[in-house]
Structure 1
């Protein structure tokens, strides 16, 4: 049996991925997962031999990712978000760094209000990353989260249990479950579907073939979800409350108009992400 050294396997996998125009760093992350090593231990053991069974399983995953675009998160079953590990599968969006930026701004804005307790609702929660992070980062906050997908809510509830977060998960379309409960809230936050159908062809295969379409696409040039949430928000958002959205980088001013049409007194901030693109809207009502 001719076992390969870790560095040899990593080099082969990185070059293989590059041939398929995939990110070479995927090899490092996937091999680290298969070996069950921390990042530090992974780099300290580069000259260690890899057991044949692990080598074969790793190569199979590398080839599948290269040939089909299957996200490595669907192979490992998790993704990191805001310093915590979340379970993900094909029923939920894979957490992205831009959403971490949205959460950061919501946390800062919530703290600035000085209100306690504060009631937040996360609309279209998916894996629960936004709701769970807010529940854990904002002491005493009351957090609810909605999603129309029962499969997504199962993942979100499991993540909340694993991370020890108290979140009330409710199945339903956008804010309708909260309207049914006649609740009023301080902050409504959402990363809704916002991709226009016309943009379908521009999406990477890792997204279009594996992320749930329900969480990606929206009618009205990607604005349909915002229109629905803003309209519903008029019924439950407290005076002095806040709307917080992740947006497509071309949608900022259109969504600003939607908000000010419903809330003429609103103060709307369009915030750019780390790449300098419009990505977040915070509207104080």
Structure 2
């Protein structure tokens, strides 16, 4: 396992090439270097000719080998992931927050702004919160929001609580099945990145996802639509009338989720939106009376 590099630049070159040879993402080298050397990417570039600290070499090399051999996410190795400019603790109990979900949050914030509600008291609930990335971000971006977060996993909620405490985000979290723990609340906005992968898609996933992401947060019955069906059924049975329902979806599910909402919740219009890469990855639904204010 001993490697002959002596500078930061040489370590980066060795790790990137090795990762590429092992069919792993070369960029993992930079993430691990930043973590082990406590440097930013800019500092890595600026001080690349500096000697690599001898006392940190063994741990860095070990993490490179561990990632290539097992596929363990680099975020699990360093214990955190970045989301909306903030760092969140992550582990095997929660999904690693992804850039696509930032666009879901941005859509919710844009809705609030367009409605002129930037200073209004609103109750928001994040269903299946996991790391708490969505809930904490909304709370921190607009401090007038009353944010709730639910998850069926007590282990996930422990991570949510740590992140909320670390970031000083005012989030109330409850264990239970989606809306069930807050059934008595009058919710203004519902947002969720629920499990939406069908078991038939298992073979399409990378080993990193299959082996290390919590399956409870990944897979759903009925071709991946079961979670949406449950949430919409709860909205209906609890007689809720949120001004906005915002879902992250699988890129093949847009029309199906739109149909579930508009069939089960008369008076709502659902809009399928694409992410920055052009894939339909979000559904935003609001009452027909408020559609004009969204344009």
Q: Please indicate, yes or no, whether the TM-score normalized by the shorter chain is above 0.5.
A: yes
Detail structure 1 runs of 4+ shifted over 3 Å in the superposition: 235-240
Partner of residue 270 from structure 2, selected from 257, 268, 274? 268
Counterpart check, 1:160 vs 2:148:
no
Structure 1 position 138, deviation (Å): 1.7
Contact 2:127–2:150 (Cα < 8 Å) also in 1? yes
Match of 2:232, SS state, is helix
Q: For residue 209 of structure 1, give the secondary structure of its aligned residue in structure 2.
A: helix
1:63 corresponds, among 62, 65, 82, to 65
Question: Could you give the per-residue CA deviations for residues 38-62 of structure 1, whole angstroms, max 9, x where no partner exists?
Answer: 2222211101111223111111100
Task: Please point out which of 242, 245, 257 is paired with 1:255.
Answer: 257
Matched, 1:228 2:244: no
Within a 5 Å distance, the mapping from 1:1-285 to structure 2 comes to: 4-115=6-117, 116-179=120-183, 182-236=184-238, 238-239=240-241, 241-285=243-287
Cα shift at 1:238 = 4.8
**Counterpart of 1:189 in 2: which secondary structure?**
strand
**Contact 1:185 1:237 survives alignment (8 Å):** no
Secondary structure of the residue aligned to 1:86 is strand
Deviation (angstroms), 1:114:
2.8
| TM-score normalised to structure 1 length | 0.96
Q: Distance in 2 between matches of 1:240 and 1:35?
A: 47
Name the CA distance, whole Å, in 2 between partners of 1:82 and 1:240. 25
Shift of 1:113: 2.4
1:260–1:266 CA contact under 8 A, matched in 2: yes
Question: Secondary structure of the residue that 2:191 maps to in structure 1?
Answer: strand
Provide the C-alpha distance between the structure 1 equivalents of 2:13 and 2:136, rounded to a whole number of angstroms.
Answer: 38
**1:32 CA drift (Å):** 1.4
Residue aligned with 2:212, SS? coil
Task: Give the TM-score normalised by the residue count of structure 2.
Answer: 0.93
1:118-156 CA-to-partner distances (Å, cap 9, x unmatched) read: 111000000000001111112311110100111110111
77-86 vs 136-145, which moves further:
136-145
Compute the displacement of 1:237 (Å).
Answer: 6.5
Which runs of 5 or more structure 2 residues have no equivalent in the other structure? 288-295
